[in-house]
Amino acid sequence: MRIFPSLLSADFRCLKTSLEPLIRAGIKQYHLDIMDGNFVPNISYGPPVIRSLRSGFPELEFDAHLMVRDPLVILEPLLEIGVEYISVHLEIDLQFKKIRELCQQYGTKLGLVYNPDTEISRGSALLEDVDFVLLMAVQPGFGGQKFRPGVLSKVDQLRSVFSGPIQLDGGVNLDNIEEIVAAGIDWVVSGSTIFESMDPAETIKQFEETV
Ligand code: DX5
Ligand code: ZN
């Protein structure tokens, strides 16, 4: 299991201070939730903030989860900044070919995201052209929501048609991590459980020890 802390629940007054203990604990990969106030009813941060993070932490890997109606508006800025992973939702009018081409051009890994109620079959035609799949276990837009266990029943179906990493995002905590990993999830995203804990680095250690 690889764990991606989601900065959505970090302290925006000082992201550097939030990140440093995790970096010291050896966490290299971070999940960045980008929202447009249209595809989801919330707005977080975008390329200017990610550019600052990139220049402050060149050694880290950034995983940009685009909860936006039109990824092409911000795709090139993000690719130029240099994020390692980009994921786009299946529920939008997806300009997949163009997105795929741009990601390939920059050597960025591309993921396809399924909302909790989206059927696996809806993405069948695209799965052979993506590097990873992200399954949402909550409706996207906000951290701190309750995990929907029904999402785990999608894993076997997805695995029968997709061999790359499967990531899960939303409501992951120390009580459900074992079940999530046992279901076949490779990468987990966790926001509030990590950043709202007394000791985020220790919480990650507990995640790792539990599985
Ligand atoms: C929700 C985001 C998540 C969020 C997860 O829209 O995609 O990445 O930060 O937060 P928790 O772990 O608190 O559910
Ligand atoms: Zn996310």
Q: Break the chain into its structural domains and give their ranges.
A: 2-210
pLDDT at 26: 97
User: Stretch 24-37: mean pLDDT, rounded?
Assistant: 98
Confidence of residue 40 (pLDDT cuts 50, 70, 90): very high
pLDDT at 210: 95
Give the 3-state DSSP-derived string for the chain, with helices as H, strands as E and coil as C: CEEEEEHHHCCCCCHHHHHHHHHHCCCCEEEEEEECCCCCCCCCCCHHHHHHHHHHCCCCEEEEEEECCCCHHHHHHHHHHCCCEEEEECCCCCCHHHHHHHHHHHCCEEEEEECCCCCHHHHCCCHHHCCEEEEECCCCCCCCCCCCHHHHHHHHHHHCCCCCCEEEECCCCCCCHHHHHHCCCCEEEECHHHHCCCCHHHHHHHHHHHC
CATH superfamily of 2-210: Aldolase class I (3.20.20.70)
CA max distance for the chain: 44
User: Stretch 149-170: mean pLDDT, rounded?
Assistant: 98
CB atoms near residue 17 (< 10 Å): 10
Q: Ligand 1: does its nearest atom lie under 6 Å from the Cβ of 111?
A: no
- Compute the C-alpha angle 72/104/142, nearest 5°: 45
Residue type for position 159: R
Ligand nearest to the CA of 140: 1
Q: Which atom of ligand 1 is nearest to the CA of 8?
A: 9
As to burial, measured by CB atoms within 10 angstroms (0-12 exposed, 13-18 middle, 19+ buried), residue 203 is buried
For β-strands 166-169 and 29-35, DSSP reports them as: unpaired
Cα of 149 from ligand 2 centre, angstroms:
17
pLDDT at 4: 98
**Among residues 63, 70, 169, 175, which one is catalytic?**
169
Q: Is the dihedral of CA 59, 109, 93, 115 positive or negative?
A: negative
**Annotated catalytic residue 93:** no
Q: Ligand 1: does its nearest atom lie under 6 Å from the Cβ of 6?
A: yes
Q: What is the pLDDT of residues 163-202, one digit of tens each?
A: 999 999 999 999 999 999 999 999 999 999 999 999 999 9
**Annotated catalytic residue 156:** no
pLDDT at 73: 97
Cα of 67 from ligand 1 centre, angstroms:
11
Cα of 144 from ligand 1 centre, angstroms:
7
Considering only CA atoms, give the Rg of the chain: 16
Cα of 99 from ligand 1 centre, angstroms:
23
pLDDT at 12: 96
Nearest CA to ligand 1 atom 10: 143
Q: Which atom of ligand 1 is nearest to the CA of 137?
A: 14
| Percent of the chain at pLDDT exceeding 70 | 100
pLDDT at 144: 98
User: Stretch 114-138: mean pLDDT, rounded?
Assistant: 98
